[in-house]
Amino acid sequence: MFELLGIAPQVLLGQLLLGLINGSFYAVLSLGLAVIFGLLNIINFAHGALYMAGAFVAWMLLNYLGIGYWPALILAPLIVGAFGIVLERTMLSRLYHLDHLYGLLLTFGLALIIQGLFRNYYGISGLPYRIPDLLSGGHNLGFMFLPNYRAWVVVASVLVCFGTWFMIEKTRLGAYLRAATENPTLVGAFGVNVPLMIMLTYGFGVALAGFAGVLAAPIYSVNPTMGEQLIIVVFAVVVIGGMGSIMGAILTGYMLGIIEGLTRVFYPEGSAVVIFVIMAIVLMIKPEGLFGRPA
């Protein structure tokens, strides 16, 4: 059959699928960032730390309370989201009238503190978290062995991403949210509780990070630095997609996962930087991002 640059089509298909799986994490995380930035104008640097916290909360639920993976998939994002709401009420809400930079610095500091606390109490080696029994094992697709859990990651992330997109772009609640970002005073005058809505939005964005953390827990080691490594890539994804663009963040997440996966076959040494190279090119050609509106 055909061979592309010396790579057998089976291998290529396998790598495309793996790229899609990694892209799922990028998509869920960059979606949360895009929602928060789009509606609150906060560059949430604590996102990686909260993703890590989601994985840790799942681990704690299992080891301290005996609560398994499926309930944790709901509970951990709720707990992380509630924590996010506390952060928003006590700290972030004081910064809305200031420049973006202040929010960035505050959340960056928070990220370091959260990460430091987990490192202090749980060490650096990481903690084991098993794949739930229902999803252990896998299927041989002919071109590769696909673990059931990875397939679930793709399904779960697609559902969550498009559910969120639908809610924000197509429902009445979403319309209020978008209106509140355009003109909070006017929306408030119509009797909508704008501060409450913003608080819940931040909680929701952060809960998405917690959700991604629970999804990641059985695959990667539950480790205080797991978010730190991912967050920079995810920011690049958001910049490429266009800051604040919901659909842009989702599509770019999946797309870049696939591009990164292909780089791992053709030039593995470059796979850590390929996303940043793309970011640089996009910023030069279309500074507002692939899906962003010109400012």
Partner 1 sequence: MIRKLAISSAALAVMTGAPALAQDIAVKLGVLNDRSGIYADLSGEGSVVAARMAVEDFKAADKGMNVEIISADHQNKPDIGSNIARQWYDVDGVNAILDVPTSSVALAVADITTEKNGVLIDSGAGSTSLTREQCRPTTIHWTYDTAALATGTGAAMTMAGGKKWFFLTADYAFGHSLEENTARVVKDNGGEVVGQVNVPFPAQDFSSFLLQAQGSGADVIGLANAGGDTVNAIKQASEFGITQAGQKLAALLFFVTDVHALGAQTAQGLSLTEAFYWDQNDDTRAWSKRFMDTHGAQPTMVQAGVYSGTMAYLAAVEAVGSADDGKAVAAKMKEMEFNDPLFGKVTVRGDGRAIHDMYLFEVKSPDQSEGEWDLYNQISSITGEEAFLPMLDECDFTKK
CB nearer to partner 1: give 96 or 143.
143
Find the binder of partner 1 among 108, 188, 221, 286 (CB under 8 A). 221
* Least distance (Å) between residue 187 CB and partner 1: 41
CB nearer to partner 1: give 93 or 225.
225
* Least distance (Å) between residue 100 CB and partner 1: 28
Mutual angle of helices 47-65 and 9-40, in 10-degree steps: 100
CB nearer to partner 1: give 18 or 85.
18
Give 120: exposed, middle or buried? Use CB within 10 Å, 0-12, 13-18, 19+. Answer: exposed
- Residue 21: in which H helix or E strand, if any? helix 9-40
Of 118, 122, 83, which is closest to residue 227 (Cα–Cα)? 118
Yes or no: say if 17 and 146 are a contact pair by the CB < 8 Å rule: yes
How far, in Å, CA of 160 to CA of 149, rounded? Answer: 16
Distance of CA 204 to the CA centre of its chain: 12
* Least distance (Å) between residue 107 CB and partner 1: 21
* Least distance (Å) between residue 17 CB and partner 1: 9
What part of residues 4-33 is at the interface with partner 1 (CB under 8 A)? 11, 14-15, 18-19, 21-22
Of 206, 247, 168, which is closest to residue 88 (Cα–Cα)? 206
CB nearer to partner 1: give 126 or 174.
126
CB nearer to partner 1: give 77 or 257.
257
What part of residues 122-181 is at the interface with partner 1 (CB under 8 A)? 123-128, 130-131, 138, 144-145, 147, 149-150
How far, in Å, CA of 224 to CA of 213, rounded? Answer: 11
What part of residues 226-265 is at the interface with partner 1 (CB under 8 A)? 226, 229-230, 261, 264-265
> Does position 184 bind partner 1 by CB under 8 A?
no
- Supply the DSSP string of 95-156, one letter for each residue: GTTS-HHHHHHHHHHHHHHHHHHHHHHH-SS-B--PPPGGG-SEEE-SSSEEEHHHHHHHHH
Yes or no: say if 206 and 84 are a contact pair by the CB < 8 Å rule: yes
CB nearer to partner 1: give 93 or 271.
271
Tell me which stretch binds partner 1 (CB under 8 A): 78-86, 119-127, 154-162, 196-204. Answer: 119-127
Going from the C-alpha of 67 to that of each of 64, 130, 138, 169, 212, the distances in angstroms are: 8, 13, 24, 35, 18
Find the binder of partner 1 among 104, 162, 167, 271 (CB under 8 A). 271
* Least distance (Å) between residue 268 CB and partner 1: 5
**Residue at 190: amino acid letter:** F
* Least distance (Å) between residue 284 CB and partner 1: 24
Residues near partner 1, by CB under 8 A: 11, 14-15, 18-19, 21-22, 119, 123-128, 130-131, 138, 144-145, 147, 149-150, 219-221, 223, 225-226, 229-230, 261, 264-265, 268-269, 271-273
